Amino acid sequence: MVVGVLVEISNQNVDRVFDYLVPENFEDSIRLGIRVLVPFGKQTLEGFVLEIKKESSRELKEIYSVVDEDIILNEELLLLGKQIQKDTLSTLISAYQVMLPKALKAKAGTIVNKKMHVFYRLNEKEYIGKTIPQKKILELFQSREEIPREELLKISTSALSTLVDKGILVPIEKEDYRMKYEAGNEEKKELTKAQQDVVDAVVSNSSSLPFLLFGVTGSGKTEVYMHIIEEVLKDGKTAILLVPEISLTPQMVEQFSNRFGNQIAALHSALSDGEKYDEWRRIARGEANIVIGARSAIFAPLKNIGVIIMDEEHSDSYKQGDKDPRYHARDIAIWRAKYHSCPILLGSATPSLESMARAQKGVYHLLTLKERVNGKALPEVSIIDMNLEAKKTPYHLTPILLNEIQECIDRGEQAILFLNRRGFSTFVTCKNCSDTIKCPNCDITLTYHKSNKMLRCHYCGYATPLPKVCPSCGEESLSDLGVGTEKIEEELYKLLPYAKVLRMDVDTTSRKGAHKKMIDAFRNHEYDILLGTQIVAKGLDFSDVTLVGVINADTSLNIPDFRSSENTYSLLSQVAGRSGRSKKSGKVFIQTFNPDHYAISYVKNHDYLGFYHQEMLVRRKLGYPPFYYLCYLKISGKDANYLFQESLKIKRSLDRNLVHTTILGPTSLAVFKVNNIYRYGIILKYKKEENLRDILLKIKNHYKTNLKVKIDIDFSPSHF
């Protein structure tokens, strides 16, 4: 027997299968999609079996061993990996590796052990204990066949040892999954007519067209998801629910656990390697019917999928844009839905322009939930013009917003404050020479974190203590400018000393389980104010939050990106939707230096469709999605001059070969240098270019042996 093996090296030069002989003692274990250990040059590597042949005309090396008992990549995932390779121009091994938890990737040395639990069974039923502890232990087995070791140790360690030594009790090892779920006992809620119409439309669907659910914040989309999944389970099928942020996952998992118990499994980056390993195998074994998780959960090895749901479908966190394969979870979801002939539901209060345009054209089925489930009006939104108010106070919290926060707390209610920038200040500058302190590895200023008096680079992770004097001129004249969540936290404690403030950003949620602890603490009224970055903007539901304040609405608006207006509208609408979700009415105050910008004006009126139509005019005029497709080439390397010359060569090659494509660049990226790597970009705009992927693949192959240049290709980039 001969097998074709795809080895673990993610390199274009070896991105193909290599043939190996299979010794007779391994033949019965060989199946497509399992991992084997093979010799590769002077190395020993793991790889996936992608082909099985009877014989070979060449002399071949033998595989060393078979790694797995069970198939790791089933038939569907094997096909999907090849589709991802074709669509993204990534290596095939990277397409397969992205699907799997660390313990199951084809990577030698990756070991995650199963967590085992010891139980005992009664072997000699006629034995009568000689001591009181022995008798107590034996009495437990009168009504139970197996008892965990921990329970028996609480009675007596020595009595347990004696009974085991005498052969009275027999130890049995069983795998103990690391993730635990509450028993599902929560009754489903009665739906409104609008919600029921959505459920009926999806579960009775016989078309392969995706559904777009456009539902305002608080319209009960999660309850709709649960009802749809319940109907799917009745038919003996399974379901995938994707959420965009890790912070949303604990809350969603808790809701679904209360309803469905251990039928659910979670897959997201906040889990440990062992937890991911357990969850993946539970899913593959058919022990879980519902998978909830972030982007990577779309690859869950479920069989017989009955529905795929993407909550907050507009979120750019569904796009993997920082490494190969540069895929979008929406595309994978649509592919898998077609494979299983099941419906796919994309839900959002602020759908992406591409999705809404497809719905308007009939490419997607449009479903709507126009009102909040409790009949309450959406919160009143007020715009605070910082061109006027900033002059009245030295603080970043205006008197208007501060007064509203104070009144909110006095009523025993809670507030959420949003600022999409962490740290204490944006940069540190010298009053004497005007120099700013930059990262030595990146073309970016360092952010000051006052809690530990460190300057940090949010690109490469470089950190250094805040110096006492200016590194350039030696004067003691350093000052910090700009604002981050740390500084707002300090201002709150100074201006509202009695308020209990909880800061939620990347810096405070890095520890395992931190998201859930913070959410639970805020829900339990241990804090009055939840201050955070975009972590607090989506999906959170607190009944006593009646005030939302946006400290600086211009943070995302000023980013040089064609999606900046869309991202601003979406973020502001989503965070505004956290206010007044229960019986109490809500208010929203947005501080901005651009009060007349249409993205902010439409947020004030809760007018998504108004924003959509205005932004579509801009996109059409400038030639951006959804009117054109985009492809982004990032050319990077350590030699800036050489890199620029090669970028020009690539541009000339594209000009010669692409007839129907607009080519912009090369230009240096907004942050030109990251971790001592320089970066240029080329943007391709096109409606139809049949040979585009062939041309780009030739360019990529041309540079695959050139260690001075790295080419990254991103179709439909979320940002540049």
Extents of the domains making up the chain = 2-104, 116-175, 193-369, 380-422+484-619, 629-715
The CATH number of the domain covering residues in 380-422+484-619: 3.40.50.300
Q: Does position 313 have pLDDT exceeding 90, yes or no?
A: yes
Which alpha helices (H) appear in 166-218, and where do they start and end?
Answer: 193-203
pLDDT of res. 534:
86
Instruction: Report the alpha-carbon distance of residue 706 to residue 703 in Å, rounded.
Output: 5
CA-wise closest residue to 74 among 302, 401, 405: 302
Instruction: Report the alpha-carbon distance of residue 254 to residue 179 in Å, rounded.
Output: 12
Planar angle of CA 397, 398, 399, nearest 5 degrees? 120
Q: How many CB atoms lie within 10 A of CB 107?
A: 18
Contact 693/89 with Cβ under 8 angstroms? yes
Instruction: Report the alpha-carbon distance of residue 651 to residue 621 in Å, rounded.
Output: 24
pLDDT of res. 111:
67
Cis peptide before 351 (omega within 30 of 0): no
pLDDT of res. 505:
87
pLDDT in tens, 567-596: 999 999 999 999 998 889 999 999 999 999
What's the Cα-to-Cα distance from 64 to each of 26, 28, 33, 106, rounded to whole Å?
9, 15, 17, 14
Q: Does position 78 have pLDDT exceeding 80, yes or no?
A: yes
Instruction: Report the alpha-carbon distance of residue 658 to residue 400 in Å, rounded.
Output: 55
Q: Which amino acid is at 447?
A: T
pLDDT in tens, 333-389: 999 999 999 999 999 999 999 999 999 999 999 999 999 988 888 999 999 999 999
Number of H helices, E strands in the chain: 20, 30
DSSP 73-116: S-HHHHHHHHHHHHHH---HHHHHHTTS-GGGSS-TT---PPPE
**Range of weakest confidence among 43-52, 368-377, 545-554:** 368-377
Q: Say which residues have a Cβ less than 8 Å from residue 247's Cβ, sequence separation at least 6.
A: 504, 509, 515, 519, 535, 536, 538, 539, 540
Domains 193-369 and 629-715 share a fold: no
Q: Does position 26 have pLDDT exceeding 90, yes or no?
A: yes
Q: 2-104 architecture in CATH?
A: 3-Layer(aba) Sandwich (3.40)
Mean pLDDT of 69-98: 95
DSSP 451-480: TTTEEE-TTT--EEEPPSS-TTT--S-EEE
pLDDT of res. 188:
80
Joined together, the tokens standing for residue 22 give 């299979």
Instruction: Provide the mean pLDDT of the chain.
Output: 92
- The helix (H) or strand (E) run that includes residue 20 is strand 18-21
Planar angle of CA 223, 227, 230, nearest 5 degrees? 135
Instruction: Report the alpha-carbon distance of residue 10 to residue 185 in Å, rounded.
Output: 46
Indicate the fold that domain 629-715 takes in CATH.
Alpha-Beta Plaits (3.30.70)
Decide the pairing of beta strands 146-148 and 116-122.
antiparallel
pLDDT in tens, 207-229: 778 999 999 998 999 999 999 99
pLDDT of res. 566:
96
User: The tokens 């350093």 sit on which residue?
Assistant: 478
pLDDT of res. 508:
85
pLDDT in tens, 656-714: 999 999 999 999 998 899 999 999 999 999 999 989 999 999 999 999 889 999 999 99
Q: 193-369 architecture in CATH?
A: 3-Layer(aba) Sandwich (3.40)
Q: Which amino acid is at 539?
A: G
Instruction: Report the alpha-carbon distance of residue 169 to residue 148 in Å, rounded.
Output: 12
Joined together, the tokens standing for residue 303 give 């069989």
